[in-house]
Amino acid sequence: MSGFKIKERRLAFQRVKKSALHCCVPFCSNSSRYNSEISFHSFPVDTAVRAQWLINIRRDIFSPTKTTRVCSRHFHPGDFVVTAAGLRRLQKGATPVLFSWNEYTLPTLRPNVWERKPRAESPNVNLTPFLTANSESEMETAAPDHDHCVTPAMANEMANENEALHRKIRYLQHQLEVLQLRTRFGIQRFAGSDEHIRFYTRFASYKHFQAFWKLVEPAVNTKMVRISNAKAASASSSEFSQPTTKLQPIDELLLFLMHLSVGLPLRDLAERFDINRTTASRIIATWTHFLYQLLGSQRLWIPRETVRAQLPPEFSAFPDTQVVLDCTEIFCQTPSSLLLQSEVFSTYKSHATFKAMIGMAPHGAITFVSGLYAGSMSDREIFKLSGIANLLTPDMAIMVDKGFLVDNLAPCKVYRPAFLSRNTQMSREDVMQTQSIARLRVHVERCIRRVKENKLFDKEIPLSVCGSIEELFNVACFLVNYQYGPLVKAWATQQ
DSSP 63-89: ---TT-EEEGGGS-GGGEEE-TTS-EE
Angle between the 277-297 and 466-483 helix axes, to the nearest 10 degrees? Answer: 60
Boundary-marking domain end, from 297, 312, 334: 297
CATH assignment of the domain containing 334: 3.30.420.10
Same structural domain for residues 289 and 310?
no
Percentage of the chain beyond pLDDT 90 is 37
Question: Does residue 183 lie within any of the structural domains?
Answer: no
Phi, psi for residue 336 in degrees, rounded to 5: -80, -25
Same structural domain for residues 472 and 337?
yes
Question: How many domains does the structure of the chain reveal?
Answer: 3
pLDDT below 70 — which residues of the chain?
1-19, 113-150, 177-184, 228-245, 419-426, 489-495
What is the 3-class SS of 89-110, one letter each residue?
A: EECCCCCCCCCHHHCCCCCCCC
Same structural domain for residues 201 and 53?
no
Phi, psi for residue 177 in degrees, rounded to 5: -65, -40
Same structural domain for residues 350 and 420?
yes
Question: What is the per-residue pLDDT across 71-101, written as a single tens digit (0 to 9) for each?
Answer: 998 998 888 888 888 788 888 889 999 988 8
pLDDT of residue 420: 62
Domain with 266, as residue range(s), is 189-297
For 341, residues 6+ apart whose C-beta sits below 8 A from its C-beta are 334, 335, 352
Same structural domain for residues 292 and 310?
no
pLDDT of residue 111: 73
Question: Does residue 256 lie within any of the structural domains?
Answer: yes
pLDDT of residue 495: 46
329/354 Cα distance (integer angstroms):
5
Boundary-marking domain end, from 297, 322, 342: 297
Phi, psi for residue 105 in degrees, rounded to 5: -135, 155
Same structural domain for residues 238 and 320?
no
Say what the pTM is. Answer: 0.60
Question: Does residue 195 lie within any of the structural domains?
Answer: yes
Question: Does residue 268 lie within any of the structural domains?
Answer: yes
Strand extents, DSSP E, 178-250: none
